[in-house]
Amino acid sequence: MYFLGSKFICLLSLIPFKDIAVNAFGSLIGGFVLLWLTVGLKGIKSIRARFGRPSIEIEVARAPSNIFSAIKLGSSADWIKQQFGHPAQVSEGWWGYNFQDALVTLEFDSQMAVQTIAVALVDEKTTFNFPTIHFDCPPLGKAVLSDAIVEHLNLEYVESTRHSELLVSGREGPRGAWHYITLGVLWPHFPGRLLEVEFEWNKDDNSLTTPPSDVKINWVAISRNSGPAHFRWDLGLNLQ
């Protein structure tokens, strides 16, 4: 019996366990490499997606730099959709687009023709040329409130429990082909994508305390409708 046990131990000592372990580990690594080369990155993602929770990947486009000349008042909703795709938000007579570098809203009449075009900033570096004839307005992104305080435009302050806002509005364009413009300083009381601005308004004497040159305009609009336009403060609102 002792002889058989000794012989068995001798046989075990002849088995190259270390080499077997190294070879097994190498085969495992080689298998993963072969799988990677065969399936590829997209295939790996497909396998992970099959067994993991699904998610939606949304490719967000940039807003046209010439948006105020590209979209004309009176353009049809069908043409807008062909050029810019489906809007991110829709309500009756209103579309909202969440571009990578801007928030854009469009209002339509009963024939679904564009009545109002509004563009809001989401960062400090993006600019959009804004068409004016009766005064020299810097591009949106560079314009401050003092640039818009001119004789033919009116300044007003509006607020709610959800936002505070300064609006400068009036009639613009060539004689006989008037349109209406609004330059806004919108300060929602909730976090979102809209470029943050702040100002102080004295309610006692109904005047702006902050110097107008320190107040950045963060949205503008052109419209067929008289009176100030309004930008939906909840477009781009962060819900997380």
SS3 label, residue 129:
coil
Q: Is the pLDDT confidence value at 12 over 50?
A: no
* Spatial separation of the C-alpha atoms in residues 58 and 178, rounded to whole Å: 39
* Spatial separation of the C-alpha atoms in residues 124 and 17, rounded to whole Å: 65
Predicted confidence at residue 22, as pLDDT, reads: 47
Q: What is the pLDDT of residues 97-148, one digit of tens each?
A: 999 999 999 999 999 999 999 999 999 999 999 989 889 999 999 999 999 9
Predicted confidence at residue 55, as pLDDT, reads: 66
Residue spans of alpha helices (H) in the chain: 2-14, 17-51, 67-70, 77-84, 145-148
Give one word for 220, left, alpha or beta, with left for phi > 0 and alpha for psi -120 to 50: beta
In the sheet where 94-98 sits, what is the strand order?
Answer: 89-91, 94-98, 102-108, 114-121, 219-223, 179-188, 163-172, 154-159
Rg, C-alpha atoms of the chain = 31
Q: Which range has the worst mean pLDDT, 20-29, 48-57, 218-227?
A: 20-29
Distances (CA, A) of 117 to 121, 182, 216, 226: 14, 10, 20, 13
Q: Which residues contact 110 (CB under 8 A, 6 or more apart)?
A: 93
54 token code pair: 């699904």
Please state the three-class secondary structure of 132-143 as a single string.
CCCCCCCCECCC
The residue among 210 and 45 whose pLDDT is bigger is 210
* Spatial separation of the C-alpha atoms in residues 153 and 128, rounded to whole Å: 20
Is residue 122 a contact partner of residue 236, using CB atoms and an 8 Å limit? Answer: yes
**Ranges of each domain in the chain:** 2-51, 67-223
* Spatial separation of the C-alpha atoms in residues 97 and 58, rounded to whole Å: 13
135 token code pair: 């005064």
- Do β-strands 201-202 and 154-159 pair in parallel, antiparallel, or remain unpaired? unpaired
pTM of the model: 0.76
Phi, psi of 194 (to 5 degrees): -60, 135
Selection from 156, 142, 231, 223 nearest residue 194 by Cα: 231
Residues above pLDDT 70, as percent of the chain: 75
* Spatial separation of the C-alpha atoms in residues 10 and 40, rounded to whole Å: 47
SS3 label, residue 240:
coil
